[in-house]
Amino acid sequence: MNYKIALLPGDGIGPEVIEQAVKVLEVTGEAAGHCFSFTEGLVGAVAIDRTGNPFPDETLAICRSADAILFGAIGHPRYDNDPSAKVRPEQGLLRMRSELGLYANVRPVKSFPALAGMSPLKEETVAGTDIVMIRELTGGIYFGKPRGRSEDGLTAYDTCTYSRYEIERVVHLGCRYAMQRRKKVTVIDKANVLATSRLWRETAKKIAGDYPELEMDFMFVDNAAMQLIRNPSVFDVIVTENMFGDILSDEASVITGSIGMLPSASIGLSASLYEPIHGSFPQAAGKNIANPVGTILSAAMMLELSFGLAKEAGWIVRAVEEAVNEGVVTSDLDAGNPHSTSEVGEHIRGLVKRLSDNG
Ligand code: IPM
Ligand code: MG
């Protein structure tokens, strides 16, 4: 089969890590008899520099005509310290989510046994952590209107809005995930305070009726923030709204102590987008030191979720596990004996080739 992939390397270390994922995808395609064709688009600070727009229409067109999108990172320190900047890289990200209908962000949080000692939490707390965190991505306070300032400039407001439909589609997604796993969904909200959260709870409870084998429970977001680091293994699938998910998914990403390893998928109404969860890490840009594994595993998620190539995705995941076990990792995981970004990418490519030869 022929699959069209939009490549959006973006800012900072984005281009370097994307390059490694492309290597791995190419060898996987050759081994399985599939053709992956790549079309590159501009996004983020680099897109602002070249076109004045962080998500140009041309990039939107590339994404719309692709079967899936592989994304690096967005953001540049030039904008972080300048709240008055009119055009910001992050606007590109939000426009992309909204234009492409990327309604759910899915982040698996699973500990690699070989890296158990790297977590800031106690090893026994982290052991057995295996969570899928699902964040609603195109609604809530990120997109609600009205937003802005009062005429005298002394008051500012944002609006959190959710429709039943927006809640239903993401809760259904969470339930489908859970049915393939340990059959538990935790819906996280603030229903003791917020009207939107009460609609979430009411809607989710109705949906639970469609999945009689499933256990659904509810947790307030403040308590969930605590439980996530106290006892992460109580969670199977988490579903939550946009802003709570933004905060909790960063918290969840450090549980395993290996943020450079974690992939994510943003499920779209047509094409979906895959990206590592780490940011643009500008201090490391161009130095060939960034960990490419989060992006390589994002490519594996793409094969499985967008193309249904579960066997091929499995080669990549196993190759990554082997590379980690052999100690072929970047400096974030082994400062004493670091390998470069491209060495890790090459090594994983070689392992995929070998695993695919063995079927
Ligand atoms: C994320 C990021 C973005 C968000 C920012 C960069 C707008 O934090 O993808 O989680 O808040 O959604
Ligand atoms: Mg975030």
Closest by CA position to 103, among listed 63, 143, 135, 145: 135
Distance (Å) from CA 277 to ligand 2 centroid: 9
Looking at residue 116, its pLDDT comes to 81
Pocket test for ligand 1, best of 71, 105, 133, 246 (most atoms within 8 A of CB): 246
Predicted TM-score (pTM) of the model is: 0.95
Residue nearest to atom 4 of ligand 1 (CA): 246
Looking at residue 115, its pLDDT comes to 87
Active site residue 152: no
Looking at residue 138, its pLDDT comes to 98
| Residue 183 φ then ψ, to 5° | 65, 35
Active site residue 210: no
Q: What is the dihedral of CA 344, 350, 351, 355, to 10 degrees?
A: 160
**Rounded to whole angstroms, how far apart are CA atoms 56 and 44?**
9
For residue 341, give every residue at least 6 positions away whose Cβ sits within 8 Å of its Cβ, in sequence order, or none: 13, 16, 17, 20, 288, 289, 290, 291, 292, 330
First-last CA distance in the chain: 18
Q: Is 19 a pocket residue for ligand 1 (Cβ < 6 Å)?
A: no
Residue nearest to atom 6 of ligand 1 (CA): 90
Closest by CA position to 259, among listed 291, 226, 227: 291
Looking at residue 153, its pLDDT comes to 96
Local structure of 10: helix, strand or coil: strand
Asked whether the beta carbons of 292 and 17 are under 8 A apart, the reply is yes
Q: Is 90 a pocket residue for ligand 1 (Cβ < 6 Å)?
A: yes
In ligand 1, the atom with minimum distance to the C-alpha of 74 is: 6
Looking at residue 85, its pLDDT comes to 84
Looking at residue 242, its pLDDT comes to 98
Looking at residue 76, its pLDDT comes to 92
Q: Is 158 a pocket residue for ligand 1 (Cβ < 6 Å)?
A: no
One-letter amino acid at 214 equals L
In ligand 1, the atom with minimum distance to the C-alpha of 242 is: 12
Looking at residue 81, its pLDDT comes to 78
Active site residue 222: yes
Active site residue 162: no
Kindly report the number of other CB atoms within 10 A of residue 165's CB atom.
9
Ligand index nearest the alpha carbon of residue 10 = 1
Q: Is 317 a pocket residue for ligand 1 (Cβ < 6 Å)?
A: no
Residue 297 structure tokens: 């595993």
Residue nearest to atom 5 of ligand 1 (CA): 90
Q: Is 99 a pocket residue for ligand 1 (Cβ < 6 Å)?
A: no
Could you say which of 79, 103, 142, 274 is catalytic? 142
Pocket test for ligand 1, best of 11, 91, 93 (most atoms within 8 A of CB): 93
Domains of the chain: 1-102+268-359 (3.40.718.10), 113-255 (3.40.718.10)
Looking at residue 258, its pLDDT comes to 83
Could you say which of 211, 246, 334, 353 is catalytic? 246
Active site residue 250: yes
Kindly give the confidence (pLDDT) of every residue in the chain, 359 residues in length, as a single tens digit, with 9 standing for 90 and above.
999 999 999 999 999 999 999 999 999 999 999 999 999 999 999 999 999 999 999 999 999 999 999 999 999 998 887 878 889 999 999 999 999 999 999 999 998 888 888 899 999 999 889 999 999 999 999 999 999 999 999 999 999 999 999 999 999 999 999 999 999 999 999 999 999 999 999 999 999 999 999 999 999 999 999 999 999 999 999 999 999 999 999 999 999 888 999 999 999 999 999 999 999 999 999 999 999 999 999 999 999 999 999 999 999 999 999 999 999 999 999 999 999 999 999 999 999 999 999 86
